[in-house]
């Protein structure tokens, strides 16, 4: 309960009766509670999501740029000199590099080379390598493997060996440690002297150099840094460079998409409680002006008045903040369990600083929101304050009543219709609460729809019911579609064309899409770029397009937004891909929606790379079934029709719910509910204040024969207008906010926005949301309307 202690006395001075303010106190407490809870959830998800990379990057002095140089064009001394260029704050290297082709975890041929760096020590000022087990390589014949390397499986441990068949004499290395580099600068490290023995004869020789810069916050800055280094050396010396932003993007794939959404919820929640607190306190001051006058007349100082009103806001807000932190923690922990999975191992406890910072920030905001009306109360002129309540009302309310009285509607309804005009400020606060609630609901629903559209767009393979994998060991560990597979002719014993024909022969088959994957680079320097190679033009697997079209034949590629940003190209441009030293010119015909981890994966027809890899054939077939085909029956029939070795048939769980989406949807629904409840509370508060102020007038009406039903109708119609207008303003506002935020969110994730993600609202949905404004207003008004209807008339008439 608010009130102040008079110095030296035990008596508490109260402004307003406790019961009168119970609802306002509850409203303030709940709104702060909800805002703090959603901010805690949002904040902790954000922290747990972005912290791993950022923390590791800072701790390990991660390289902002990892550049590869051709030793044939620039010698070690010149490369090392680039570390002294202006703008470079730290560097490490150059380290000589070898490409090896080790067997995969199960002993399978991975068809993919790995980068081994000759590095004398794990430290070095930039990109400090963290040992997870074992020790650093100290002698020739020893190798430290990166935990992120494809060749490292769960049972790769120090003490094991690795045979390098690509190097002359097929040397065998002893694994002495497992380590990791935050920016993934190599797949393995050996002592510098070992490199020469690992190199394939005849291949180009390269070196790696690691940099940190004074300005490297954006891709543009990093591109400039990279260009400065390239310009300092002979043309063509730098053959590739990897930006830490790309790595971060990969690490933050889901974070980038979902955290801004969570933040939007938290910010909306806080804004809403600020509006509510400000309107509650100014409402309280407005309603108690006479009381303030009386108290000042009997000797309360302005300072004391200000303190009374601050306390009136801060006490319930404090309670709400504490409960909000508790609730936020309760909600965040299970959600973060999901988040920990989707963010790749975040901690599943809310960080202490969030539990501290969120409530403190909320209370500061509350104090500021309350301070303005509290100061007004403190400055109030005593005589004027005493005169309030005796003065005649404003002309606006009277004119509205005059107009409404002529409408051919029941009198109780017309009284309600005109009521908002008598108290323009209060009505504006009510309107603001409804507008905010509707905006929040519209925005939140749009976000949720967009998020699920993102997931659908990111997983176009969902339509694929059955996949047929070729080659690989027949031990059940076939690669999943979308995973890394070999791009070149492998150990497949079956003939791909035969397999394809066999699948096409099944009656349930609608379409067969042969696929392979490869790694290329772009001439002029990017890191490795993955290529999804399709046999033919597969509409079924097409990713959502942001602009342009899907490829239509060899020589055409569809690339994600991040590829365009990184290479500085646009749809319609021609770029040169480099695959195993062979240059292939391709035209970019479309920009697809493929953000995050796969940020640099491009799509093209398999025959595009025919010049570079003549033997290229599909490593798996995705099968689209005709509608109504029994999957289980189809699969068993297909299994018996295909050769028994070297081929596997897998069923994709198309109906399977993505846990990320489930978790995200749960959060969004929860936060939407919270926001809408807070909006409802804001309306409740406005109507409560309004009803309180009008309790005397309502008493008069009841004394002259207004029934409880008519009273209810009057109070409800007095807010219905605000509900309608609020809905009509709030829905477009929510829509505009959504259309503004979604592209921003997508930009953060390094992607453009496809129409499926942008245009998520249906007309019916919008109309319903608009009606939601009225619903919010009416729900908020129901309780006070009920009181007004039930209130004792005799009591009401006694109130001054």
700 binds another protein (CB under 8 A): yes
398 binds another protein (CB under 8 A): yes
Residues 391, 632, 763, 764: which binds another protein (CB under 8 A)? 391
692 binds another protein (CB under 8 A): no
- Please give the structure tokens belonging to residue 797: 């008439």
Q: How many CB atoms lie within 10 A of CB 632?
A: 8
Q: What is the DSSP letter of 128?
A: P
270 binds another protein (CB under 8 A): no
Footprint of another protein on residues 719-748 (CB under 8 A)?
Answer: none
Closest CA to 682 of 402, 271, 288, 316: 271
Residues 397, 536, 548, 732: which binds another protein (CB under 8 A)? 397
Please measure the distance between the N-terminal and C-terminal CA atoms of the chain and give it in whole angstroms.
23
Binding mask 642-681 for another protein (x = CB under 8 A): ----------------------------------------
- Please give the structure tokens belonging to residue 596: 């995050």
Residues 18, 139, 297, 405: which binds another protein (CB under 8 A)? 405
Pick 257 or 719: Cβ nearer another protein: 719
Pick 303 or 410: Cβ nearer another protein: 410
Do 222 and 241 form a contact (C-beta atoms < 8 A)? no
Pick 422 or 457: Cβ nearer another protein: 422
**Smallest distance, another protein to C-beta of residue 759, A:** 46
| Apex 175 CA angle, 173 and 180, nearest 5 | 125
Pick 665 or 697: Cβ nearer another protein: 697
Closest CA to 54 of 256, 215, 314: 256
Pick 256 or 689: Cβ nearer another protein: 689
Cα–Cα distance between 172 and 170 in angstroms, integer?
7
Q: With 0-12 CB in 10 A as exposed, 13-18 as middle and 19+ as buried, what is 657?
A: exposed
- Please give the structure tokens belonging to residue 524: 């002029």
Residues 77, 704, 763, 764: which binds another protein (CB under 8 A)? 704
Binding span for another protein by CB under 8 A among 183-191, 612-620, 659-667, 698-706: 698-706
Strands 620-625 and 509-522: antiparallel
Pick 412 or 737: Cβ nearer another protein: 412
**Smallest distance, another protein to C-beta of residue 683, A:** 22
How many residues form the binding site for another protein (CB under 8 A)?
34
388 binds another protein (CB under 8 A): no
Q: What is the DSSP letter of 63?
A: -
**Smallest distance, another protein to C-beta of residue 430, A:** 17
Pick 260 or 420: Cβ nearer another protein: 420
Pick 30 or 418: Cβ nearer another protein: 418
384 binds another protein (CB under 8 A): no
Closest CA to 29 of 362, 407, 437, 265: 362
Q: Is 664 helix (H, G, I), strand (E, B) or coil?
A: helix
**Length in residues, the chain:** 800
**Smallest distance, another protein to C-beta of residue 394, A:** 8
74 binds another protein (CB under 8 A): no
401 binds another protein (CB under 8 A): yes
- Residue 118 phi, psi (nearest 5): -90, 110
**Smallest distance, another protein to C-beta of residue 676, A:** 32
Pick 291 or 423: Cβ nearer another protein: 423
Q: Residues with Cβ < 8 Å from 646, sequence gap 6 or more?
A: 470, 471, 474, 492, 493, 494
Residue written as token pair 């292939």: 584
- Please give the structure tokens belonging to residue 573: 């441009």
Which letter, b or e, does each residue of 677-705 get, where b requires 16 or more Cβ atoms within 10 Å of its Cβ? Answer: bbbbbbbbbbbbbbbbbbbeebbebbeee
Pick 404 or 503: Cβ nearer another protein: 404
Pick 706 or 757: Cβ nearer another protein: 706
Cα–Cα distance between 465 and 513 in angstroms, integer?
12
Residues 234, 402, 549, 570: which binds another protein (CB under 8 A)? 402
**Smallest distance, another protein to C-beta of residue 411, A:** 4
789 binds another protein (CB under 8 A): yes
Binding span for another protein by CB under 8 A among 208-216, 400-408, 460-468, 539-547: 400-408
799 binds another protein (CB under 8 A): no
Q: DSSP letters of 395-458?
A: HHHHHHHHHHHTSSS-HHHHHHHHHHHHSHHHHHHHHHHHHHHHHHHHHHHHHHHHHHHHHHHH
Cα–Cα distance between 519 and 113 in angstroms, integer?
10
**Smallest distance, another protein to C-beta of residue 285, A:** 21
Residues 227, 497, 703, 767: which binds another protein (CB under 8 A)? 703
Q: With 0-12 CB in 10 A as exposed, 13-18 as middle and 19+ as buried, what is 532?
A: buried
Cα–Cα distance between 483 and 108 in angstroms, integer?
15
- Please give the structure tokens belonging to residue 758: 């942008």
Do 447 and 668 form a contact (C-beta atoms < 8 A)? yes
Cα–Cα distance between 110 and 67 in angstroms, integer?
25
Do 335 and 660 form a contact (C-beta atoms < 8 A)? no
Footprint of another protein on residues 477-496 (CB under 8 A)?
Answer: none
Residues 80, 197, 361, 797: which binds another protein (CB under 8 A)? 797
695 binds another protein (CB under 8 A): no
705 binds another protein (CB under 8 A): yes
Residues 701, 715, 725, 729: which binds another protein (CB under 8 A)? 701
Pick 477 or 707: Cβ nearer another protein: 707
Residue written as token pair 């998020």: 451
Q: Is 655 helix (H, G, I), strand (E, B) or coil?
A: coil
**Smallest distance, another protein to C-beta of residue 782, A:** 17
Pick 537 or 793: Cβ nearer another protein: 793
**Smallest distance, another protein to C-beta of residue 709, A:** 6
Binding span for another protein by CB under 8 A among 36-44, 63-71, 695-703, 755-763: 695-703
**Smallest distance, another protein to C-beta of residue 768, A:** 34
Cα–Cα distance between 230 and 70 in angstroms, integer?
11
Residues 171, 192, 344, 708: which binds another protein (CB under 8 A)? 708
Q: Is 181 helix (H, G, I), strand (E, B) or coil?
A: coil
- Please give the structure tokens belonging to residue 164: 């390098």
Binding span for another protein by CB under 8 A among 4-12, 68-76, 397-405, 642-650: 397-405
Footprint of another protein on residues 408-437 (CB under 8 A)?
Answer: 410-412, 418, 422
Residues 709, 744, 762, 799: which binds another protein (CB under 8 A)? 709
393 binds another protein (CB under 8 A): yes
Cα–Cα distance between 564 and 573 in angstroms, integer?
10
Do 24 and 689 form a contact (C-beta atoms < 8 A)? yes
Pick 274 or 698: Cβ nearer another protein: 698
Cα–Cα distance between 293 and 274 in angstroms, integer?
27
**Smallest distance, another protein to C-beta of residue 289, A:** 16
Q: Which residues bind another protein (CB under 8 A)?
A: 391-393, 397-398, 400-402, 405, 410-412, 418, 422, 696-697, 699-710, 789-790, 792-794, 797
């Amino acid at each position: 309960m608010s009130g102040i202690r008079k110095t030296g006395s035990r008596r508490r001075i109260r402004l307003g009766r406790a019961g009168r303010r119970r609802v306002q106190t509850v409203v303030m407490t709940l709104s702060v509670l909800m805002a703090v809870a959603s901010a805690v959830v949002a904040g902790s998800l954000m922290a747990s999501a972005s912290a791993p990379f950022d923390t590791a990057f800072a701790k390990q002095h991660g390289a902002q740029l990892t550049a590869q140089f051709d030793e044939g064009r620039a010698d070690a001394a010149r490369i090392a000199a680039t570390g002294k260029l202006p703008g470079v704050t730290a560097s490490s290297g150059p380290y000589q590099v070898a490409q090896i082709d080790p067997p995969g975890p199960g002993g399978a041929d991975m068809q993919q080379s790995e980068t081994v760096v000759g590095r004398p020590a794990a430290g070095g000022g930039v990109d400090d390598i963290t040992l997870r087990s074992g020790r650093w390589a100290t002698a020739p014949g020893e190798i430290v493997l990166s935990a992120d390397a494809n060749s490292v499986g769960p049972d790769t441990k120090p003490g094991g060996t690795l045979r390098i068949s690509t190097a002359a004499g097929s040397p065998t290395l002893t694994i002495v440690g497992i380590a990791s580099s935050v920016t993934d600068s190599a797949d393995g490290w050996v002592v510098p002297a070992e490199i020469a023995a690992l190199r394939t004869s005849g291949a180009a020789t390269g070196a790696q150099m690691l940099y940190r810069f004074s300005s490297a916050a954006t891709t543009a800055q990093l591109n400039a840094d990279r260009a400065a280094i390239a310009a300092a050396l002979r043309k063509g010396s730098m053959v590739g460079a990897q930006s830490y932003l790309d790595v971060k993007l990969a690490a933050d794939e889901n974070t980038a998409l979902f955290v801004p959404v969570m933040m939007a919820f938290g910010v909306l929640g806080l804004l809403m409680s600020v509006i509510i607190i400000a309107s509650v306190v100014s409402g309280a001051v407005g309603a108690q002006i006479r009381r303030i006058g009386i108290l000042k007349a009997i000797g309360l100082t302005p300072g004391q008045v200000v303190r009374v009103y601050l306390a009136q806001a801060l006490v319930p807000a404090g309670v709400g903040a504490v409960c909000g932190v508790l609730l936020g923690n309760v909600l965040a922990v299970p959600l973060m369990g999901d988040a920990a999975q989707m963010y790749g191992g975040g901690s599943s406890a809310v960080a202490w600083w969030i539990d501290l910072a969120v409530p403190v920030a909320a209370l500061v905001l509350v104090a500021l929101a309350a301070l303005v009306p509290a100061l007004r109360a403190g400055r109030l002129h005593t005589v004027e304050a005493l005169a309030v309540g005796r003065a005649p009302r404003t002309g606006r309310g009277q004119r509205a009543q005059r107009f409404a009285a002529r409408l051919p509607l029941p009198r109780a309804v017309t009284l309600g219709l005109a009521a908002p005009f008598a108290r323009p400020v209060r009505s504006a606060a009510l309107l603001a609460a409804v507008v905010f609630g509707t905006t929040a609901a519209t925005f939140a629903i749009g976000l949720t729809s967009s998020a699920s559209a993102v997931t659908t767009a990111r997983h176009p393979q969902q339509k694929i019911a059955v996949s047929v994998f070729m080659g690989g060991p027949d031990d059940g560990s076939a690669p999943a579609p979308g995973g890394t597979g070999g791009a070149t002719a492998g150990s497949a014993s079956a003939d791909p064309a035969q397999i394809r024909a066999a699948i096409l022969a099944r009656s349930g088959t609608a379409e067969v899409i042969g696929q392979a994957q490869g790694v290329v680079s772009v001439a002029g320097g990017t890191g490795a770029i993955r290529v999804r190679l399709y046999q033919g033009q597969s509409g079924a697997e097409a990713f959502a397009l942001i602009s342009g079209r899907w490829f239509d034949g060899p020589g055409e590629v569809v690339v994600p937004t991040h590829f365009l940003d990184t290479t500085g190209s646009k749809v319609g441009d021609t770029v040169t891909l480099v695959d195993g030293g062979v240059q292939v010119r391709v035209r970019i015909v479309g920009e697809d929606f493929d953000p995050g981890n796969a940020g640099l994966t491009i799509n093209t027809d398999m025959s595009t790379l025919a010049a570079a890899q003549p033997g290229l054939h599909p490593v798996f077939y995705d099968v689209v079934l005709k509608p109504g085909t029994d999957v289980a029956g189809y699969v068993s029939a297909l299994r018996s029709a295909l050769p028994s070795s070297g081929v596997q048939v897998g069923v994709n769980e198309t109906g399977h719910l993505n846990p990320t989406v489930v978790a995200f949807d749960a959060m969004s629904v929860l936060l939407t509910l919270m926001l809408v409840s807070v909006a409802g509370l804001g309306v409740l508060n406005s109507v409560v204040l309004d009803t309180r102020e009008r309790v005397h007038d309502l008493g008069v009406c009841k004394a002259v024969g207004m029934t409880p039903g008519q009273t209810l109708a009057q109070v409800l119609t007095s807010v219905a207008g605000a509900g309608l207008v609020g809905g009509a303003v709030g829905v477009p506002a929510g829509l505009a906010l959504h259309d503004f935020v979604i592209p921003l969110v997508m930009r953060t994730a390094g992607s453009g926005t496809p129409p499926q993600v942008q245009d998520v609202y249906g007309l019916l949905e919008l109309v319903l949301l608009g009606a939601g404004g009225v619903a919010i207003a009416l729900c908020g008004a129901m309780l006070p309307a009920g009181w007004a209807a039930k209130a004792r008339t005799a009591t009401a008439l006694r109130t001054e």
